[in-house]
């Protein structure tokens, strides 16, 4: 049986001049609009080019296929989340449990704000989910949180810490997606995030005293 090849998702080249940077920005903005309107199944490079007001050839200068465009959108979202994660968890002026609460609030709020785009990108995920570039981007966020877990659970065994890390991240991701599936007010988000943070706090305290 012939294995299906993973599509190339790296950009062809990086823009070096202001004009090129503006072109890529226009392509990505057009891609966001096409994805929001048409969904992943009707997302095409031709539609993106038409929306951006450029030729298909101009798009192909930077993105070899539609998977590369979609991955760039997803990668940008992942990187924003990773930067948020790093900024919150690296704040040593706050106690670890305070940082965890701040992270929960920021993550749930972000999930609600980006719900529509996230759903569309999830539909497109099979195009790039297992590509090396995608694995690398996801691993960066995982590594940051694993480092934070050493502060959060300094006295537990490594297997226990690993399990706690996986449980917290999986719960955040799964519950955040489910909660953001419906429109939420700022008050709804705050109440829900507080409840989740309280749950994590109790879990961490119990592990530290076991």
List, for residues 137-185, the tens digit of each pLDDT value.
Answer: 778 778 889 999 999 999 999 999 999 999 999 999 899 989 998 899 9
What is the number of other CB atoms lying within 10 angstroms of the CB of residue 91? 12
- Alpha carbon distance 69, 63 (integer Å): 6
**Interval 1-22 mean pLDDT:** 58
Q: How confident is the model at residue 11 (pLDDT cuts 50, 70, 90)?
A: low
Q: Is 2 left (phi over 0), alpha (psi -120 to 50) or beta?
A: beta
Burial class (CB in 10 A: 0-12, 13-18, 19+), 1: exposed
Q: Go through the chain and tell me how many residues it has.
A: 210
pLDDT at residue 10 greater than cutoff 60: no
pLDDT tens digits, one per residue of 44-85: 999 999 999 999 999 999 998 888 888 888 888 878 888 888
- Alpha carbon distance 21, 87 (integer Å): 26
Q: Quickly tell me which residue has 């101009």 as its tokens.
A: 58
The DSSP secondary structure of 11-57, one letter per residue, reads: -S----SHHHHHHHHHHHHHHHHHHHHH-STT--HHHHHHHHTS-HH
Token pair of 107 as six digits: 């993550």
How many angstroms separate the Cα of 209 from the Cα of each of 87, 147, 154, 158, 196? Answer: 28, 20, 11, 15, 20
Cα 41–15–132 angle (5° rounding)?
55
Cα of first residue to Cα of last residue in the chain, in angstroms, is 51
Give the alpha-carbon dihedral of 70, 121, 174, 109, to 10 degrees. Answer: 90
Q: Quickly tell me which residue has 């670890």 as its tokens.
A: 96
pTM confidence score = 0.74
- Alpha carbon distance 207, 13 (integer Å): 48
pLDDT at residue 35 greater than cutoff 90: no
Give percent above pLDDT 70 in the chain: 89
Give the per-residue pLDDT at 5: 47
């Amino acid at each position: 049986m012939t294995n299906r090849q993973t599509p190339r998702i790296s950009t062809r080249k990086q823009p070096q001049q202001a004009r090129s940077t503006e072109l890529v920005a226009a392509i990505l903005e057009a891609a966001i609009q096409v994805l929001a309107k048409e969904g992943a199944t009707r997302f095409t490079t031709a539609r993106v080019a038409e929306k951006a007001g450029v030729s298909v050839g101009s798009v192909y200068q930077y993105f070899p296929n539609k998977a590369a465009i979609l991955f760039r959108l997803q990668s940008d979202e992942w990187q924003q989340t990773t930067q948020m994660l790093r900024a919150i968890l690296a704040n040593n002026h706050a106690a670890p449990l305070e940082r965890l609460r701040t992270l929960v609030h920021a993550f749930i709020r972000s999930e609600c704000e980006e719900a529509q785009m996230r759903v569309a990108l999830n539909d497109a995920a099979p195009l790039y989910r297992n590509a090396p570039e995608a694995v690398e981007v996801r691993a960066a966020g995982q590594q940051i949180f694993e480092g934070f877990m050493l502060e959060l659970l300094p006295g537990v065994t490594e297997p226990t810490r690993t399990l706690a890390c996986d449980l917290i991240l999986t719960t955040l991701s799964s519950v955040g997606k489910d909660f953001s599936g419906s429109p939420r007010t700022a008050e709804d988000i705050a109440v829900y995030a507080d409840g989740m943070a309280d749950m994590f706090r109790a879990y961490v305290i119990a592990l530290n005293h076991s």
